[in-house]
Amino acid sequence: MDIQLDRNDTTPLYRQIVAHIMEGIALGRYPAGTSLPPERKLAAHLGVNRTTVVAAYRDLVATGRVEARVGHGTWVCADLMDDANAPPSIVWQTLFTPAAGRLRESALRDMMSAIDRPSTISLGAGTPAPDLFPIAEYREAVTQTLETWGAEMFRYGEVAGWLPLRRELAAWMAQAGVHTTADQIVVLHGSQQGLDMLTRVLVEPGDAVVVESPTYLGALQTFRGAGARLLPVPLDAHGMQIEILEQTLVRHRPKFIYTLPTFQNPTGATMSLGRRHALLALARRYGIPIVEDDPYGDLRYEGDPLPRLAALDTGGGVIHLSTMSKIFLPGLRLAWLSAPLPVVEAITMARQTMDVHPNSAAQRVLHTFLTRGWLAAHIAELRPAYAARRDVMLAALAEYAPPGMTWSQPEGGYFLWCRLPPGVRARALATEAAREGVSFVAGDVFSPDGGGRDHLRLNFTGNREAEIVEGVRRLSVALRRLQRDPVYDATETIAAARPVV
Amino acid sequence: MDIQLDRNDTTPLYRQIVAHIMEGIALGRYPAGTSLPPERKLAAHLGVNRTTVVAAYRDLVATGRVEARVGHGTWVCADLMDDANAPPSIVWQTLFTPAAGRLRESALRDMMSAIDRPSTISLGAGTPAPDLFPIAEYREAVTQTLETWGAEMFRYGEVAGWLPLRRELAAWMAQAGVHTTADQIVVLHGSQQGLDMLTRVLVEPGDAVVVESPTYLGALQTFRGAGARLLPVPLDAHGMQIEILEQTLVRHRPKFIYTLPTFQNPTGATMSLGRRHALLALARRYGIPIVEDDPYGDLRYEGDPLPRLAALDTGGGVIHLSTMSKIFLPGLRLAWLSAPLPVVEAITMARQTMDVHPNSAAQRVLHTFLTRGWLAAHIAELRPAYAARRDVMLAALAEYAPPGMTWSQPEGGYFLWCRLPPGVRARALATEAAREGVSFVAGDVFSPDGGGRDHLRLNFTGNREAEIVEGVRRLSVALRRLQRDPVYDATETIAAARPVV
């Protein structure tokens, strides 16, 4: 038994002996039945005290792989599970947490088929127009950013985000009437991450969260995944019905109120000024924070802008979330939040254990877009293009939709919210529409309370005008066929390879 | 009272009345004391049934902002909290979760001063050499990637990561002897995110996790933040002491074993082949997964490479984590994991609620680096450069360090692990060193069990050779001064603006 002891090693000698023999057993060098040398003999061979070997053998016996009997010596015993031939022994299902189960259930519940054929026109995803991406400016911004910053673009960065970018984002928000500071801003890897961070520091299983009904799917998934009790407050054309909210606040004392007040996802509804004031007053009276999710606020195509909740707030109770995904380039995963300092501190602490910091290069490229005025110019180009696409979709619906179908007329944002003719279910239509080569998102996906089965969400920003018309025409063909030949709800769902955004 | 009722609205008329009056109250249009019209009169004015107004007033009274008494009518009453002048009413401390408290405590516990003066030489951060960043190749890769992919670079992408990149990463791992498939790979926004995702689906408060002692700070923070019980297993020069591990597995049945087997952070130690086999055998026998964190595996400067645990594993029990941060550009936040399919499915579900998907543009740039062979070429340049920096640091220590100080001689990776002369504490030295213009990470930061107070971690990759020599010289000056004039441990800590990596 050729054991090399290292007397400079801090590991005690008896443990070095144990380590050597256990390795030998694991490697098959000492198969079952191998006799270990008598203690006295091994001690002499190694030049150690006998008590050292006694201690080593005692620990070896404790592992169960070595047996000792007085008068019979010490030997390696059979491994009850033959490692080489055993089936995989990790039973993952027994290891996952209840949270993993909730996350799974939440994701499965809202699954939709995202496997479109190439010829399918997708009116489903909430994507900006790829044909309008500012690619030339991006190329130029990378060049300028590399020239200005060099290696700094690629180093580890601050947890809350690169300070010059946070300053620019604060200035960007000031233009929208929200006065905040760089200290109150956290740069995010997508605004979903902001919802996740806020949920992590504010929501435990069983906590209540107010949501609009219907609302953004990703928020529902995050809150459900955290085990939150969802308290739905219905929407109408003027946003969340505040007079219903108060009774909810009194009864349930939620952790926060989650709202998309402007060009809401999925309905396109915008909360009236009166309700904005009333919401802030109520939230303040009951000491409940508001999470204002504002991905579409810069995309108004007509009518007067309304102030953000964060602009009206005087009580420090609004956490404002926004994103570059709807006005710039979604694949870059750039978003930010502005929040009271205790919240910023809590999520910055949490983030050190989550993803450490946002992409340094992407932050600097965005900084270049902001400081050169390219982002403002890009949005100024998007507004009329998206307004035209909305109008094209409205006109196509007016031309093709069957009687009994109605839809919203949003003043901005990404979506039309359609109510199907009586008796038609959105899930059944989705199956029919897939055959026809068009996809959308069925309304029940956005519902915290089982509603929306006769609604669908249509995106009007992601396709060119001709495709929008053709998509609506195909949808109407599918719908008329379904009305002639009704089927029950499709129950089959396919795992979402791409997110619903 | 000018109430506009919308009979096309799906909101019941009585609720429209409630909404209007509540908004008026919130806006100050109807201050306290305002009389509401008699029910019959308002009903006539609005052309609605009287019961509609009765229902509206009943709901208004329920809010507490309206009072009614028979014979006295109905009026707006004073708000008990005057919203306009009230102090901010959100008491954030009462809203944060226990998890937020743990995350905070975990981050604070391990805080170090990261506020270096510009002239300070940082031997602290585990950063690659900024002077060796492949910036020209990056510029060229962006150009080629834009030409090849255009707008696709900026669209929403797959939750697990872009499939062509996952294929390239699988091929990359195959070159290191790990056979996996694109389906088993998840692209991450930094490997910390992988630890966070695994923790989210595997660890509940009170669950046990095996860690090496000492180990990577970010892992300790994530596990502590999740409320895990840490089970430390000591390291020696040959890695985790496996013979101690078995008793831990028997007693505590941990959720997984977290190990950095190759060029460990912070010690630089590499687990011997025998121990690798023994670890796999043990983990398999007890049905415990292994999380193999492998940021430094490609950075061997001498000696024969050892197979990854994931390469030796035959039981499907190893989750392999790796990152581009140590071999490419840390600011891009690109890492990946390879895991059994049930784990991939669980974390992909969870990810939909976390950050949705990784940066599409960064993934495609990395794909270009991999397919052009530029990453392999870059690593081939890093190895001799880092080996030379390690040797320079070892020589500087031999020249300047006082008697009684010892240090490791790692065959690869990023770090030397130094033991201070008896009686000197690393935290006290950090204060003294800051005065001298050099920083490092005190060893206790990496300890799950209060050890490491007489150790420090020195990074040898992030600085040029002359700076390394000067840094070690300054450190030795600080150390000798501290030995002449000992002080107690510095207890003051400053919030870490930058992460310890």
pLDDT digits over A195-242, tens only? 999 999 999 999 999 999 999 999 999 999 999 999 999 999 999 999
Contact B349 A107 (CB under 8 A): yes
Pick the residue from chain B with its C-alpha nearest to A196: B354
pLDDT digits (tens, 9 = 90+) for B305-314: 999 999 999 8
The token pair at A164 is 């010059």
Quote the minimal CA–CA distance from B43 to chain A in Å: 20
* pLDDT given at position A111: 47
Rounded to the nearest 5 percent, the helix, strand and coil shares of chain A are 45, 15, 40
Mean pLDDT, residues A425-444 taken together: 94
Mean pLDDT, residues B128-144 taken together: 97
Amino acid at A433: A
Contact B361 A331 (CB under 8 A): yes
Chain A residues with CB under 8 Å of B345 CB are 104
Quote the minimal CA–CA distance from A351 to chain B in Å: 9
Angstrom distance (rounded) from CA B229 to CA B218: 16
* pLDDT given at position A30: 85
- Band of pLDDT at residue B29, cut at 50, 70 and 90: confident
Concatenating the DSSP letter of every residue in A108-148 gives: HHT-------TT-EE--S----GGG--HHHHHHHHHHHHHH
Angstrom distance (rounded) from CA A282 to CA A10: 65
Quote the minimal CA–CA distance from A363 to chain B in Å: 10
Mean pLDDT, residues B133-146 taken together: 97
Chain A residues with CB under 8 Å of B57 CB are none
Nearest neighbour of A287 by CB, restricted to B91, B190, B355: B91
- Band of pLDDT at residue A86, cut at 50, 70 and 90: low
Angstrom distance (rounded) from CA A150 to CA A226: 41
Nearest neighbour of B92 by CB, restricted to A81, A108, A343: A343
Contact predicate A352/B495, CB 8 Å? no
* pLDDT given at position A12: 81
* pLDDT given at position B103: 79
Angstrom distance (rounded) from CA A125 to CA B487: 62
Identify the CA nearest to B476 among candidates B398, B392, B416: B398
The token pair at A498 is 């791409």
pLDDT digits (tens, 9 = 90+) for A96-137: 988 888 877 766 555 444 455 778 999 999 999 999 999 999
* pLDDT given at position A85: 46
Nearest neighbour of B81 by CB, restricted to A103, A285, A331: A285
Mean pLDDT, residues A344-372 taken together: 96
Contact B356 A192 (CB under 8 A): yes
Chain B residues with CB under 8 Å of A97 CB are 200-204, 207
The token pair at B361 is 């543009």
Q: Which residues contact B9 (CB under 8 A, 6 or more apart)?
A: A236, A237, B16
Contact B285 A314 (CB under 8 A): no
Q: At what angle do helices B98-109 and A341-352 cross, to 10 degrees?
A: 70
Angstrom distance (rounded) from CA A302 to CA A412: 7
The token pair at B444 is 């206790």
Beta strand A121-122 with A438-439 is: parallel
Asked if pLDDT for residue B85 goes beyond 70, the answer is no
* pLDDT given at position B69: 83
Chain A residues with CB under 8 Å of B155 CB are 127, 130, 330-331
Contact B23 A278 (CB under 8 A): yes
* pLDDT given at position B62: 74
Contact B346 A92 (CB under 8 A): yes
Angstrom distance (rounded) from CA A361 to CA A399: 47
Share of chain B above pLDDT 70, in %: 93
The neighbour count for residue B450, using CB atoms within 10 Å, is 9
Mean pLDDT, residues B4-9 taken together: 82
* pLDDT given at position B450: 87
Nearest neighbour of B285 by CB, restricted to A83, A154, A243: A83
* pLDDT given at position B84: 47
Identify the CA nearest to A210 among candidates A250, A247, A260, A245: A245
Contact A315 B90 (CB under 8 A): yes
- Band of pLDDT at residue B494, cut at 50, 70 and 90: very low
Angstrom distance (rounded) from CA A181 to CA A322: 15
Nearest neighbour of B156 by CB, restricted to A104, A127, A241: A127
Contact B315 A86 (CB under 8 A): yes
- Band of pLDDT at residue A487, cut at 50, 70 and 90: low
Angstrom distance (rounded) from CA B166 to CA B273: 29
pLDDT digits (tens, 9 = 90+) for A249-308: 988 999 999 999 999 999 999 999 999 999 999 999 899 999 999 999 999 999 999 999
- Provide the mean pLDDT of chain B: 90
The token pair at A474 is 């195909």
Quote the minimal CA–CA distance from B12 to chain A in Å: 10
Q: CA torsion sign, B346 to B352 to B355 to B359?
A: positive
Beta strand B415-419 with B455-459 is: antiparallel
No. of H helices and E strands in chain A?
16, 17
Pick the residue from chain B with its C-alpha nearest to A253: B95
Share of chain A above pLDDT 70, in %: 93
Angstrom distance (rounded) from CA B494 to CA B488: 18
pLDDT digits (tens, 9 = 90+) for B154-167: 999 999 999 999 99
* pLDDT given at position B499: 67
Angstrom distance (rounded) from CA A404 to CA A412: 24
* pLDDT given at position A497: 52
Nearest neighbour of A158 by CB, restricted to B195, B352, B497: B497
